[in-house]
Amino acid sequence: MLRRYLIVSACLLLVACSWWPWGSDEPAAPPAPKTIGVISVLSSRIAVIDTANSGWSRRTAFYPLADWPIDDLATTQATAWLQQKGFDVRPVTIQPGAFSAQALGGPVTRGDWFDRQRPSFTDIIHRSAQPGDLDYYLILVEGSGSTSVPDLHGIGFVHFSSRPQAFIAYHVFLIDGKSGETLDDVHADADNQWGSADPAVDAPYTDLPKAIWPRQITAWSPEQQAAFRDGIDAELTSSLKATLRRLDLP
């Protein structure tokens, strides 16, 4: 009798265990990727600057960007990098003028104790970007590239006594889309910033052949402009890889 009782009890226990929710719960779904929008307004024009060795500009001419999609290149590069970091990158439509250097109070300078206050993007995003409610925004704007040459900011071409240099000065902001708070920001560095023999260009730059420099800066040939754009495209691609890595992502 005892043996039969034990067998029945064991069978009932096995049946009960089969109904117990051991490991029956589905694994928790991973959190949804954080949404982010990329905004690039690097400059609205190209500055061609003839400069004395002392750092004073002798003459500057400005050219429109025309059909050069420099901001598309920056957006594409930043989007690919953010996707690798697990973000859900959403397309953003903007009013470019709202993010221009003029609207932000001037080109953004490198951060130190004596710089002016950083711009606030809270209202700008809500008024001038769609969608305006993403988790985060990565914003590339025009930066200052010199403390002694007033026109050396944004995108341009400068000639000192040596080989002419194409530069692209920009600053990157990581913004909390809900609060508008700046979570981090970095100023783009030159690849050879710390060992540069020409510290007058405080921005990513590349040396270009002297033949690309226009003899008269108001007469810049299409071939010279194309060579300049190719140099800037290559420099921006290289620079973004280093600059974005310095951001402290959430």
Per-residue pLDDT reduced to its tens digit, 83-116 = 999 999 999 999 999 999 999 999 998 875 455 5
Higher pLDDT, 19 or 94: 94
141 has a pLDDT exceeding 80 = yes
My answer on whether omega of the bond before 131 falls inside 30° of 0, hence cis, is: yes
- Global confidence as pTM: 0.84
CB of 248 closer than 8 Å to CB of 183 = yes
> With b meaning 16 or more CB within 10 Å and e meaning fewer, what string describes 51-69?
beeeeebeebbebeeeebe
Per-residue pLDDT at 48 exceeds 90: yes
pLDDT in tens, 155-196: 999 998 777 999 999 999 999 999 989 999 999 998 755 444
Cα–Cα distance list, 205 to 18, 112, 148, 192, 242 (Å): 69, 22, 16, 9, 14
Under DSSP, the state recorded for 193 is: G
Taking residues 148-159, what's their average pLDDT? 92
Q: Is the pLDDT of residue 13 over 60?
A: no
Domain boundaries, the chain: 36-245
Q: What is the mean pLDDT of residues 117-125?
A: 86
Mean pLDDT, rounded, of the chain: 85
- β-sheet bridge partners, residue 187: 171
